[in-house]
Structure 1
């Protein structure tokens, strides 16, 4: 009787439905084109966040890494960007072989003055397995190739760009102009009447200039300086060689601009600045390469962000309701 009762109990336990909640092993939380992002991918990312060097900060698009730690939506967007880059790496055939990854790890060990086994022990101390580190390094190398092809090769940062940035950050700085090439149309008050008549002639020529007539043609026709210089060219002068009123008049001109009528002791002038040479601040020359590096990083981040926005618009991205 006891054996029969025990058998009934065991059978009832075996066939009784289990109402305890089952743990979800994995699920799809988003898709990028045909590629799935799994819940386990997000958990791996959450683990990577805590490990030095395991997150590619360029994909953060300027946000601090702390922004990922508690924001699951930010984590999901990061994973989507990773998928977009991985797809492009495959499309451009930029995959890196395991041999190249091993060679790079050997170089890293050498630069750290470690043997390969010592380097691998160091990796483990950082909370990573060697295989995890290899995968991180492989992704890094592939992305570097992609960044070089898609963005860095298209960046153009000139010395002029760097100089403009320097002047923006130093608004009180004024470049030293140390050489001018100048032309003039001169109106002599001792010819053809008194000073007022010379001023009237000067204003009449100025109106012709403003109407679009050639400075050189007008200089050859109306110049009264008696030098016979073609196109009114005075010559090239260093700072301090011209009279102060002349230097002040042309100081704010861009090349090929002309002044209004300028009055001096000699008479009336319309000057044209043909060219000028400036001396750059020695402090700028000292930091020029650093400024260009800063501008390159700034432009890289902006171009990468634009690339992601463009790719997201072209991709089929689905985020499921239970993703976060």
Structure 2
């Protein structure tokens, strides 16, 4: 049975109850009293979390929030950020403790190599700063313990990949393709919109009387492919202007659109060929699916592992 025992100005309870308590209990402004000296704000098993640790963790988010919000909205978001920062720190301490218990370690040389890589990638890092050194060591340790305790235990079978492919097939769809021809009539001069529209109507009327599209295009079109009968060639769904895409959506091969107005002028479009939407075959996307399923399963296993760590731990929060 979950229990909460109040000890003066602190509370001792299973960590599995931490999130609920943080969100449901009004919290004093831990970070809003700059006159307070550094002190313990939480005990995670045998580890201490200091007020200065929380301030350092929260500083970038505080800066971001102060640029975007103000007044009551800012105060509310800062309080929420405090809860999230403390929760994140507690979870990180639990994982680092588990790494120590399992004998997972990172050498000084590995930390130095990681710092060098960060510098080569353009990051500003101070290798002499003890906090930076410790933070990089912690990050490497977290990666290593999660690899060992979570990712190494995740397997992805063929049946799972096929099920994912079936349930998310639209993710592997190829865009529909068209072979198009067009007649484009541009207003000339800029105030000649009415004349251009009338010219487009005449062209459309000629097509409805049965004249060949290519002949009408040569006669009327201002498009770059007019001399070739207006042939545009192959285009994929999504590459066309939205108005034209909508106009040709219901057309079968050989179908001709009505007049479509865009910023370029007036278009009459013929669908010469149409390749319906297809799907990449399973064998082609198999390794992509394996990565997606592995990532999904890893997250599920990680959350279960983290919950187990919380259920075994006790935390004392000192307000």
TM-score category by the smaller chain? 0.3 to 0.5
TM-score if structure 2 supplies the norm length? 0.46
Rg larger for: 1
Report 1 or 2 for greater relative contact order, CA contacts < 8 Å, sequence distance ≥ 6. Answer: 2
